[in-house]
Every structure is written in structure tokens, then in C-alpha cells.
Amino acid sequence: MVRLVSSVLDINALRSLISIADSGGFRRAAETLCVSQSAVSQHVRRLEKTVGRPLVEPDGRATRFTPDGELLLAAARRLLALHDGTLEQLGVGAPARPSTITVGATEHAADHLLPLWMEALTAGFPEARVQFRLDRGARLTEALDQGAVDVAVLIGSARAAVSRPAGTLPLAWYAAAGWTPPPPDRPLPLVAINDPCTIRSQALNTLARVGRTAWVVGEAGHLAGVLQAARAGVGVALLADVGPVPPGLVRRDDLPPVAPEPLHIRTRRGAPPRLAELIRDTVIAALA
């Protein structure tokens, strides 16, 4: 006598579960699978109903698997490998969709680093599509937590256990060719990205340490606005000292030298370990 099984695990739901783990969240899983986020949520609820216990639970802004979820996830990988392998042998499997790697970075030195990252990622992940997101550090950190970015290069020391150092970013003062600094007894006009900004703080702190007062005469939400203000002669800007001198500006070595800023790399949960290693090695080599 053949005994019928009352509970059956849905293959598509298991595929969503694996994608949540591999992509770092429900939203990225939905993008990877080309379905709606609500469909991914329904798949998880379907699996939870089948096994009779929770599989995924909130973890701050992100999510994490319960012990039962981790157990089912490991089993799902084996089941899907067997399932998809069988279809491939029968010649009825659908071709796999290319994965997407999203790299986040601040704008500082991006014009120098982006081509190097593209070259390294194309060689290291030939089947993947590579895209970049340039944004403020706080928003990139939030995107990592939500799984919207796979790896990000951030300014500042590596504080979290999931971060790793990635060398340092050299900094220098730049201004328009005809710009003349005011006498030492008058505040130095500074243009910078608006708060919070690590490089802005570095500029003000460096000047304060040598007893030079400064005032932020112009600020912008992004680096392009800072460059425009500096080119217009509004004030001096502290910029990444990497690659060619920005058009319309000259380096000002008559101002106090500034210590380089440390860089660190963070990846989303579930990202391939060699992704961070590849980005880190590229950064260190480019800025050495």
C-alpha cells in the first residue's frame, strides 16, 4: 500500500526562500525572481503553513531565518539542485537569468574607481550584470541592511563586525585657479557637502587644529555642487586626491595638510565572500 503525504513543499516557494537568503531580503528576492514582493511573502507564508512554524522573522530593518528556517533552507538547496538538475537532464529546464551585482559608493574618487570595479567584477563574475549606486554613506548603509546593495565602499573606520578595512583615501585642498585665500586673521571660506559628511568634518577639524577659523560659505547635497561652487571661486574644497585634478581647479598646497580618511567595505547578508575581497583588493591597489 502506498501512503499518501498530506503536506507537500512547493518548489516555487522553496525557490523564493533560497533567493531571500542569497539576495539579502524580500525586495531583492522579488527582483531576482522577477515577481512581486507580495508573491515572495506569500511563498514564505505558504511554507510556514506547511511546516506549522515560523521560518523568517524581523531583525531590525532586515530579516533573519529562524532555526527551523535555516533547516528548511539547507534542505531546499538540496531539493532545488536535484529538481533543476533533473529538468536540465531532460532538456526542459529554463535558462537561468543572469544575477545582478549592485555596488554602492560615495561620490569621492568614484570617477577613478568605477572603471576599475567594472573591469574586476566583469572578470570575477562573468555571468552577472553589474550596476552602481552613488549615494551618501548613511543611505548606502540603509540599502545594505535592506538588501538593495550587495557591497559598498564607505568612508570611515570599520566599526561593525561585518565591515573590513579597505585602505585610505588621500585628501587635498582644491580651489579655482584665480582664488586667493583671505589673510590668516579672517575665516577661510569653505565649500562642502552638507552635514553629516566625514570629509566636511575632517576639513573643519584640520583647520581648527592649526588655529585657522573657517566658515562654510557654500554647501551642497552632492559632490557635483561642491565642485561647481569651488570652480566659481566661492571658496576652497577638501576633495579626494586621486586621479587627475578636477577640471577648473588647482591643488592648494599652501593650506594645512590633511590626514587621509580610512575606508571600509560592507556587504549585505548572504553576499559571496569573494565579492568583498575583490572590491577591497581593487580599492587598495588603486589608492596605494
Q: How would you class 282 by CB atoms within 10 Å of its CB: exposed for 0-12, middle for 13-18, buried for 19 or more? A: buried
SS3 of residue 80 by DSSP: helix
- pLDDT band for position 233 (50/70/90)? very high
- Could you tell me if 32 and 129 are in contact, meaning their C-beta atoms sit under 8 angstroms apart? no
- pLDDT band for position 205 (50/70/90)? very high
**Which stretches does DSSP call E strand in the chain?**
56-59, 62-65, 100-105, 129-134, 151-155, 163-169, 171-176, 188-193, 214-220, 237-240, 249-251, 261-267
pLDDT tens by residue, 78-128: 888 888 778 777 777 655 555 788 899 988 888 888 898 999 888 888 888
SS3 of residue 223 by DSSP: helix
- pLDDT band for position 161 (50/70/90)? low
Mean of the per-residue pLDDT values of the chain:
85
Predicted confidence at residue 175, as pLDDT, reads 94
- pLDDT band for position 137 (50/70/90)? confident
Average pLDDT score over residue span 161-189? 88
Instruction: Quickly list DSSP for 121-178.
Output: HHHH-TTSEEEEEE--HHHHHHHHHHTS-SEEEEES---STTEEEEEEE-EEEEEETT
Q: Of the ranges 42-51, 77-86, 178-187, which one carries the lowest mean pLDDT score?
A: 77-86
For the chain, domains (ranges, CATH) are 9-88 (1.10.10.10), 98-166+261-285 (3.40.190.10), 170-258 (3.40.190.10)
For residue 271, give the DSSP letter: -
Predicted confidence at residue 2, as pLDDT, reads 44
